[in-house]
Amino acid sequence: MRPEDCREALATLGPPWNPQEITALEGGWSYWTFRADDHIVRFPRTANDALLLEREFALLPIIRDRIGVPAPRYTVRGEWRGRPFGAYPHLPGRLVSAADLAVPAAKLPAALGNALRALHETPLAALTHVDTSPDGWWQRKRAFLDECRARAFPLLPAHVQAVAAREIEHAEQRFRDGAVQPALAHNDLGLVHVLTDGHKLTGIIDWSDAEVTDPVIDFVGIVGAGGSQAVAAVLGGYGMPPGEAFWERLWFLAWVAPLHDILYGLDTGDDDVLHAGIAGVETRMRSSGRLL
C-alpha cells in the first residue's frame, strides 16, 4: 500500500480529509501504517487483521480508562476496499529502551508495572469481542502449538525439539493444575509498543492482539529486550507476580514466541525471518537454562 492509497482512503471520509503530508511507517506484519499530519492511520493487511482491528476499536475505550497510560483514541474510522481502517492522534515520545527498565524502583518500570497490573485486573465481564471462557485461551494456544509441531519443529535441531516437547508437556500440566488464571493482556508488548518522553510513559500502542490469555505473556517482550533484571524492575510496580510458577511460564512463552516467526517465514517465503525464528528458539532456551 502506498501513501497515495492512504490519501485516497482518507478522501472518502466526510468532510474529505486531505492531509498536507503522508509518510509510510513501519507497520509490522499485520498493518500498513502511515503518518498523516498529526495522525497515525492503520490499514489491516488481511481479513483476519481486519477483525482484530475491529476488536481493538471495541476494547480501547475499556483499556484507556484503566491503565493510567495514554493509549490510541481512534477519532477517525472508515472503510477502504472492503476493510475497516482507523486513525488516531499521534502519541508523543520515543520508544522505551531496555536501559529505561534496568533500574529497580525507577519511575518508568514502575509505571509500566502499574499499567500492566491494572490491565490484567480488568473484569472479564466488562469485555466484548473477546473469548472469556475459562479454557478458551489454552485451546487457542494448544492449536498454535499443534501447528508448530507439524510445521516448525521439524526445522529445529533435534536437541531443541526434545526440550520443546518436554516444555509443552509441563505447560499442559500447569494448565490442568489450574496454575494459570487468564486475564486481559496486551499480548504483543514489545518495547516498540511502549513510548516515553524520558521521564514518564507517554503511550502504549498496537492493541490489536489484546485478548484473554496467560497474563505472563506481557513480560515476554521485556525479558527479551532487557533480561530478568528488567522484568524484576517492572514487577516492582506490578506487585506480586500473576499466579504460580511465574518464571517458568515466562521463559516457556519467551522461547515459544520465535515460533511465530518460523510460521510467518514459511507462509511468506521470507527466509530471513524464518532463520531468525529458528535461531531465536534456541537462543531463548539457552538464556533460560533449558539448554546448556
Secondary structure of residue 32 in the 3-state scheme? strand
CATH of region 10-89, choose from 3.30.200.20, 3.20.20.450, 2.60.120.620, 3.40.50.800: 3.30.200.20
How far is the C-alpha of 56 from the C-alpha of 273, rounded, in Å? 26
User: 268 Cβ partners below 8 Å, 6+ apart?
Assistant: none
pLDDT at 27: 77
* Other Cβ atoms within 10 Å of 2 Cβ, number: 11
Amino acid at 89: P
- CATH 3.30.200.20, the chain: domain bounds: 10-89
- The ranges of the chain annotated as CATH 3.90.1200.10 are 94-287
Query: Check: CATH 3.90.1200.10 for 94-287?
Result: yes
Entry pTM: 0.94
Residues of the chain with pLDDT under 50: none
Count the neighbouring beta carbons within 10 Å of the beta carbon of residue 39: 19
Buried b (16+ CB within 10 A) or exposed e, 168-186: beebeebbeeebbebbbbb
What is the reported pLDDT for 246? 94
Q: Coil, strand, or helix at residue 290?
A: coil
pLDDT at residue number 248: 94
Q: Which helix (H) or strand (E) holds 39?
A: strand 39-44
